[in-house]
Amino acid sequence: MPSARPFFQEQARWRPAETVFWLAALLPFLVTPDYLSLASQVAITALFALSLDLILGYAGIVSLGHAAYFGFGAYTAGLLAKHFIGDPLLGLAAGAAAAGLVGYVTSHVIVRFRHLALIMLTLGLGLLLQEAANSASALTGGADGLQGVRMSPLLGFKFDLYGRTAYAYSLAVLFLLFLAARRIIHSPFGLALRGIRENAVRMPAIGAPSLAHLRKIYTISAVMAGAAGALLTQTTSTVSLEVLSFGRSADVLVMLILGGAGRLYGGILGALIYMVARDQFSGMNPQYWYFWIGLLLVAVVMFLPNGILGGLARFSERKS
């Protein structure tokens, strides 16, 4: 019997463009040192988009409430730093673990549903958690946000005003978790997930434990979203209710679709474009910002169904 190993090795081969991309991620330190805070926001959002890509792009689970895990990680890290210990790495681990636990529990419900019921359930769970955080204002600060989050230095480096530490920290976490996601996607488990995405009935029929696979990737995705939330708390020293909002879930979905779902780099690229554009147009009334986002969404669905990366891939295929 031929081995499957060469197939997976070819899939997982590290391509030159990827090296260029990650080296370019270091450029802000040299080229735009004034924008490092923005760069760290981009890295955090990219991590969040990557976590959504794992379930949406690879396993076909549509979620309108992924901010639930992001926000849970953010509040966990914030509360830990406020009341107990301000060590960033510990907070990161705690935020990721707590979100992962919530993800594991909810995954038992989520993976049973598809179509409208799935969309409604993810939306409902997200809203539920936001309302809970709003009501428990004694713990979370409610609409005023969680104040008084003090972070200790990270491995001896203080979080400075320019965001140098913040960006280095966010980028490092993004890169490590990206490697983990890449490893997962290019494993037999990742292949099984794509199989479930393409045909949810056939995979169980050929003996794959579909629901168990989906629960596993959903939990992993929640861990990553929680880590992103914890990073946001630690780099901004505050948590607001916005981290749990429907707006955040919708934004990250837009970024992922814009960049291209199911392509690992799609979410990162989408987050980069979205965040930089929003920063450039920050003088604009948010109402009108959403007008352009709406137009963009309509255009992407109509003309670029696989996002920017999907369009590029098709373009280069046609040329060759």
Please, are residues 100 and 70 in contact by the beta-carbon 8 Å criterion? no
Spatial distance between the Cα atoms of 109 and 69, rounded to a whole number of angstroms: 15
Give Cα separations from 2 to 5, 7, 63, 188, 190 (angstroms).
Answer: 9, 10, 38, 15, 20
List, in order, residues 6 or more apart from 74 with CB less than 8 Å away: 95, 229, 230, 232, 233, 239, 243
Binder among 2, 302, 315, 318 for other proteins (CB under 8 A): 302
Task: Give Dmax over CA atoms of the chain in angstroms.
Answer: 63
> For residues 152 and 132, what is the distance between their CA atoms, to the nearest angstrom?
29
Footprint of other proteins on 45-64 (CB under 8 A): 56, 62, 64
Name residues contacting other proteins, limited to 248-287 (CB under 8 A): 250, 253-254, 257, 285, 287
Candidate segments 67-75, 187-195, 232-240, 297-305, binder of other proteins by CB under 8 A = 297-305
Instruction: Kindly write out the interface string for residues 99-118 of this chain, putting x where it contacts other proteins by CB under 8 A and - elsewhere.
Output: ----------x--xx-xxx-
Judged by CB under 8 A, the residue of 127, 211, 276, 277 near other proteins is 127
Residue 307 Cβ, how far from other proteins at the closest point, in Å?
11
Which of 93, 276, 277, 293 binds other proteins (CB under 8 A)? It is: 293
User: According to the binding rule CB under 8 A, does residue 298 interact with other proteins?
Assistant: yes
Residue 305 CB, nearest approach to other proteins (Å)? 7
121 binds other proteins (CB under 8 A): yes
**C-alpha–C-alpha distance, residues 238 and 79, integer Å:** 10
**Nearest CA-CA partner of 61 in 27, 18, 29, 107:** 107
How many C-alpha atoms does 84 have within 13 Å on its Cβ side?
10
Rule CB under 8 A: say whether 119 interacts with other proteins: yes
The footprint of other proteins (CB under 8 A) covers: 56, 62, 64, 109, 112-113, 115-117, 119-121, 123-125, 127-128, 131-132, 134-135, 250, 253-254, 257, 285, 287-288, 290-291, 293-298, 300-302, 305
